[in-house]
Chains A and B, each alone.
Chain A
Amino acid sequence: MTDSAQFALYSLLLPAGSFLLLAVVAPLRRSGRPAGFISIVFSAAALGWAVRAWLHSSREVFQPPLLWEWIPAEAGPLATVGVLADADSTIMLVLVALVSFLVQVYSLGYLAHEPAQGLGRYYAYQSLFAFSMMGLVLAPNFVQLFIFWELVGLCSYLLIGYWYGKPEAARAAVKAFWTTKAGDVGLLIGIVLLWQRTGTFDFLELLMQVDAGTLPLEGLGLVTFCIYLGAVGKSAQFPLHVWLPDAMEGPTPVSALIHAATMVTAGVYLLKRTDWLFALTPDVLALVGWVGAFTALLAATLACAQSDIKRVLAYSTVSQLGYMMAAIGAGFASAGFLHLLTNGLFKALLFLGAGAVIHAVGSNDIFQMGGLRRAMPQTTIVFLVGALSLAGIPLFGGFFSKDEVLGAVWAGGLTAPFVMLVVTAFLTAFYMFRVVFIAFFGEPASQGHGAHVGAGHSSAAHGGTHLQDPLPTMALPFWLLAIMSVGVGILFTVRHPEHEFAAPGWLTPLVVTVSVGGILLAWLTYHRRVVDAERLAAAFGLVREAALAKFWVDDVFEAMYRGALLAFSRAVGWMDRYLVDGIVNVLSAWTLVLGDRLRRMQSGQPQDYVYGVALGLLLLLVLIQWPR
């Protein structure tokens, strides 16, 4: 029993305890804010244990997992449950615990006007999510991972649909659930196939088999592809990325936690966890890289056309997930993992900042904001930090990891994906600063936009008292995240960790130049207005059209749904109506006719019954005398 695994276990059990407490003790849950405090205290404790586990794990070389037997079978247990605390899982654990804690604190302010009952429910879900995500991160085998994988999916569904009274939210929750479920089916099939050929679910045992070279390679591509499908759904890769933007219907803190920092990165984490398995199937790995890069570019294009601040961030999340996947596809999973961690910090920061803005303005539309710099200086600063981190400017959080990802992709020999990612880097900087210049700088919205006057009056009247920096419960979390983002950025800029690969010298200048170029273009277009936004959009006419239509991916899915599923339903309906019912009707008709015929046997004449008796007697006699 190791310290690190033990600490991780405490960290895992604390949110489970708070969830059970809130779920079982109904009066506590209905009390609202006290429930929130309990959940926060528990998650703070969980964060403490997570940090201890991380500190311990980085010292030790190898930690045997804590395991308990589960699903007993003749030849030893079929599966185990436990805690596998190594360097990767503990740092991820810290990220999850940290963001979860900060988001829960932030939610106290953000959801202050919610009814007490709803707030209690919200915190119960939050605790459940923290527990599930930690269980996923610490899972020592595929079975446990899959169970928690589904649990986080459930939490995601519950939290997206938190405002279930709103039809869009309810629909988005269902869409997220179904879309990720489509990938999960692949994951499940992959896990079972893998078990069929190796006889184990355990990561360490599988790793030993891989090291010993005893793992059968034939058909392994299908297995890894199926596992990758799970990651495609969860980590919003093309073409299953469609659920993530819609998931923004949930409360903003939820988006920050689940749909930016933790759950959506579960797919990346899974691939990182099993990178030795994927290394055996280079074809699938290349597919991961290509799809990742394509997703990154596609999402970045989409982000440029959005006016909803949360949707811009959602697409940027999809795009960054594409980055991570591309690095993994290039064969350097740790680069992708590093980007996962930094992205978790600054993306949560961006969402919390956006949440503060939305809370103050009362709208998601960036064109109804503007000039927030004066009213909300703190928020502006942290949002700027987040944007700079995302854009990959030196000294900020995302700089080094983005550099690392691009270097990995280049070193992995994926040239075309590399080009796509560089374009994406430019677009990333552009769309982020488009938001920054429109929302935080420039003129206040209510003066410039006559069309919005009607709507603007109410929002201005409503926002007039609210347009200020949020209270400490909300400000503290994003300040902490901002400091950490900058801290990590400075740390990595000053003290580069060692590269796993030889990155070319021109890479860093190229990335910085491209990013600065993006920012510059955004500045010229939306702040100095030297470049006309309309003309710029017109220059990319077709792409813009396509982006506004979300590249028709949703339409394709809808058409597929309409075409395939409805046709199938119709066929099934036809079969039920005519075949099944037909058979039943024919049977019932036969029964009626037969009954009618049989009825006539009962003539009511006593003598006919005597015939029956006599025939029975004859039959008996014949039977008795049958030649023996």
Chain B
Amino acid sequence: MPAGMLPVGTSAMPLHAYLTLAATLFAIGLFGVVTRRNTIGILLGIELMLNAVNINLVAFARFNGDPAGMVFTVFTICITVAEVAVGLALVILIFRIRRTVIADHLDLLRG
């Protein structure tokens, strides 16, 4: 694909490519959430999934020429940070109470 034929501000990579990348990351993150035994590991999976979502948001914003999507990404990042902070606090709290960080042992909700 000769670069000269592209107008300024355009890219060779279509939106599909970015979305596919995001979907893949999302799936990997989901896999991590489902399979990890360690609570911190699960949190890391969630981080990956959120990250994938961020890529989606930015890609859409860029390809539609609407910066509102990027504002959303700012929000998402901020909320994620808050979530991680609270989530890790919870992990430590749970560890203190139950003496474990293994999610398998955390089944107080079992019916």
Contact = CB atoms under 8 A, between A and B. Distances in A.
A and B touch in the complex (CB under 8 A): yes
Contacts of A614: 30, 34
Nearest to B30: A614
A602 B103 contact: no
Interface string A584-621: 00000000000000111111111100110010000000
B103 A605 contact: yes
B34 A604 contact: no
Given A606-B42, A606-B103, A607-B42, A601 B33 contact: no
A602 B33 contact: no
B34 A601 contact: no
Interface string A356-379: 000000000000000000000000
B110 A604 contact: yes
Interface string B79-111: 000000000000000000000000110111111
Contacts of A607: 33-36, 42, 103
Interface string A66-85: 00000000000000000000
B110 A602 contact: yes
A104 B108 CA distance: 84
B107 A603 contact: yes
Contact of A600 (B33, B35, B36, B111): B111
A621 to B, nearest CB: 11
Interface string A540-558: 0000000000000000000
B109 A604 contact: yes
Interface string B17-39: 00000000000001001111000
Contact of B111 (A604, A606, A610, A611): A604
Contacts of A603: 107, 110-111
How many A residues touch the partner, as a band?
10 to 19
Given A599-B111, A600-B111, A605 B34 contact: no
B80 to A, nearest CB: 18
Contacts of B103: 605-607
A607 B38 CA distance: 11
B107 A605 contact: yes
A601 B111 contact: yes
Contacts of B111: 598-604
A601 B30 CA distance: 21
Contacts of B34: 607, 610-611, 614
Nearest to A607: B34
A497 to B, nearest CB: 94
A438 B107 CA distance: 98
Nearest to A611: B34
Contacts of B30: 610, 614
Contacts of A611: 34
Nearest to B45: A610
B39 to A, nearest CB: 9
Contacts of B42: 606-607
Nearest to A601: B111
Interface in A159-211: none
Contacts of B107: 603-605
A610 to B, nearest CB: 6
Contacts of A604: 106-111
Contacts of A599: 111
Contacts of B35: 607
A146 B34 CA distance: 79
A605 B33 contact: no
Contacts of B108: 604
A367 B42 CA distance: 107
A611 B104 CA distance: 14
A322 B61 CA distance: 105
Nearest to B110: A604
Given A605-B103, A605-B104, A610 B33 contact: yes
Contacts of B33: 607, 610
A598 B110 CA distance: 11
Contacts of A598: 111
A423 to B, nearest CB: 87
Nearest to B105: A605
A598 B35 CA distance: 24
A5 B35 CA distance: 97
Contacts of A600: 111
B110 A606 contact: no
Interface string A295-314: 00000000000000000000
Interface centre among A602, A603, A605, A607 (most CB of B within 10 A): A607
A478 B33 CA distance: 106
A596 to B, nearest CB: 10
A273 B110 CA distance: 81
Interface string B52-64: 0000000000000
A285 B103 CA distance: 93
Interface string A248-277: 000000000000000000000000000000
Nearest to B46: A610
Nearest to B27: A614
Contacts of A601: 111
A583 B44 CA distance: 53
Nearest to A602: B111
B16 to A, nearest CB: 16
A614 to B, nearest CB: 6
Contacts of B104: 605
A602 B108 CA distance: 10
A606 B106 CA distance: 8
26 contacts: A598-B111, A600-B111, A601-B111, A602-B109, A602-B111, A603-B107, A603-B110, A604-B106, A604-B107, A604-B109, A604-B110, A604-B111, A605-B104, A605-B106, A605-B107, A605-B110, A606-B42, A606-B103, A606-B106, A607-B33, A607-B34, A607-B36, A607-B103, A610-B30, A610-B33, A614-B34
Interface of B: 30, 33-36, 42, 103-104, 106-111
Given A601-B111, A604-B107, 8 more contacts: A602-B109, A603-B107, A604-B109, A604-B111, A605-B110, A607-B34, A607-B103, A610-B34
Closest 5 CB pairs of A and B: A604-B110, A602-B111, A604-B107, A604-B109, A599-B111
